[in-house]
Amino acid sequence: MKHRNAIETELKLRIPAIPPIRELLRAMGFVETTPAQREISVLWDRNGELAARGSALRVRRYAGKTILTWKGAVVPDPILKIRPEEETAVEDADALEAILTALGFAPVLTMEKTRAILNRDELVACLDETPFGCFLELEGDPHAIKAAAEHLHLGSDRVERRSYPTLFREHGIK
């Protein structure tokens, strides 16, 4: 099987609370595939190289798995966040961190939140509870994302353009 480059397309929306949105998502045909649980994500960089290019390297520990993710620079869009993304599961998180350290990378930000994942054919919905509020991320087909947001009655005033790393830093979390 040949690997394809992936493009992540998502919309992050501020929500007042998770339970009512979870019920609306279920009514829209979403099925909870991962119940709410703790997620720890650590961003790594080497002397600011990745940040200078608008890229990120993340090690995520969630749902009993460790995932290494590279994110490229954001493609301009008025509402959606679109960027190249590559990720892979990692068998040994400690070995991965030792490799990154040996390559000159260091952790630059640790983010902790509670996340639940719901799926529907063309969309993934993530319900996130952070130290600074609740969010819904819709990821998948751009038209399906916009239709779902409209169906949920979440207007453009709810769109959060800032990334989680930016929000964590703005709230004094390092």
CA dihedral 156, 32, 131, 96 (to 10 degrees): -110
In the prediction, which pLDDT does 1 show?
A: 45
Per-residue model confidence as pLDDT tens digits over 27-67: 999 999 999 999 999 999 999 999 999 999 999 999 999 99
**E-strand stretches of 53-132:** 56-62, 65-71, 81-90, 106-120, 123-130
Residue 47 lies inside a defined structural domain of this protein:
yes
Residue 23 lies inside a defined structural domain of this protein:
yes
Domain containing 69: what range? 6-170
Q: For residue 49, what are the CA distances in angstroms to 57, 105, 108? A: 11, 10, 12
In the prediction, which pLDDT does 173 show?
A: 78
Residue 101 lies inside a defined structural domain of this protein:
yes
Paired with 42 in beta bridges are: 59, 110
In the prediction, which pLDDT does 4 show?
A: 56
Per-residue model confidence as pLDDT tens digits over 1-30: 455 559 999 999 999 999 999 999 999 999
- Cα–Cα distance, 60 to 135 (Å, whole number): 18
DSSP 11: E
Residue 48 lies inside a defined structural domain of this protein:
yes
Number of domains in the chain: 1
Torsions phi, psi for 143 (to 5 deg): -65, -40
In the prediction, which pLDDT does 3 show?
A: 53
Q: Are 35 and 116 in contact (CB under 8 A)?
A: yes
CATH of the domain at 45: 2.40.320.10
- Kindly write down the DSSP assignment for every residue of 143-173, as one continuous string: HHHHHHHHHTT--GGGB--S-HHHHHHHTT-
In the prediction, which pLDDT does 69 show?
A: 97
Per-residue model confidence as pLDDT tens digits over 62-120: 999 999 999 999 999 989 999 999 999 999 999 999 999 999 999 999 999 999 999 99
User: How, if at all, do strands 106-120 and 81-90 pair?
Assistant: unpaired
In the prediction, which pLDDT does 172 show?
A: 87
Residue 160 lies inside a defined structural domain of this protein:
yes
DSSP 54: T
Specify the DSSP element, H or E, that contains 140. Answer: strand 133-140
